Structure 1
Amino acid sequence: MRHELAVQHGPEDDRMRPGAAYRLMTSAVVPRPIAWVSSRSADGVDNLAPHSFFTVVSTDPAMLAFTSVGRKDTLRNIEATGEFVVNVAPGPLFEVVNATSADYPPEVGEFDAEGVTREPSLTVAPPRVAGSPVAFECRLHEVRPTGNCFVVVGLVLHAAVDASVAASDDMVRRPHVDIGALQPWSRLGADEWGLLGEIREIERPRYDG
Structure 2
Amino acid sequence: MNNAALSVLPTGAAASRTAIEPSILYFGTPVVLLSTENQDGSFNLAPLSSAWALGQTVVMGLGMEGQTAQNLGSRPDVVINLPAPALWPAVERLAPLTGRNPVPATKAKAQGCRYEPDKFTAADLCSAPSHTVRPPRVAECPLQFEARAEQVRPDASGTFVIVEAVVQKVHADPRIVVPGTDHVDPTAWSPLIYNFRHYFGLGPELGHSYRTQTPRASEASPSEQ
**1:1-209 counterparts in 2 under 5 A?**
2-4=17-19, 22-23=23-24, 25-26=25-26, 29=27, 31-57=28-54, 59=55, 62-106=56-100, 108-146=117-155, 147=157, 148-171=159-182, 176-190=183-197, 192-204=198-210
Distance 1:4 1:170 in 2: 47
TM-score using structure 2 length: 0.73
Unaligned runs of 5+ in 2: 1-15, 102-116, 212-225
> What is the CA-CA distance between 1:202 and the residue it aligns to?
4.0
Whether contact under 8 Å (1:41, 1:80) holds in the other structure is: no
Match of 2:53, SS state, is strand
Alignment partners' CA distance in 2, 1:65 and 1:197: 25
Alpha-carbon separation, structure 2, partners of 1:204 and 1:183: 20
Any idea what SS the aligned residue of 2:47 has? strand
Pick closer, same or farther for the CA change 1:113–1:201 going to 2, 3 Å.
Answer: same
- C-alpha contact (below 8 Å) 2:91/2:123 kept by paired residues: no
Hey, what's the Cα distance between the residues in 2 that align with 1:162 and 1:144? 33
TM-score, length-scaled by structure 1: 0.78
* Percentage identity across paired residues of the two chains: 25
Distance 1:22 1:168, change over 3 A: farther
| CA deviation vs aligned residue, 1:43-92 (integer Å, no higher than 9, x gap) | 122111111111013x2xx1111100332111111112111000011123
Superposed displacement of residue 142, structure 1: 0.3
Query: Structure 1 residues 156, 199: CA separation in 2 closer, same or farther (over 3 Å shift)?
Result: same
Cα RMSD of the aligned pairs, angstroms, is 2.0
Alignment partner of 2:61: what SS? Answer: strand
Q: Distance in 2 between matches of 1:124 and 1:54?
A: 20
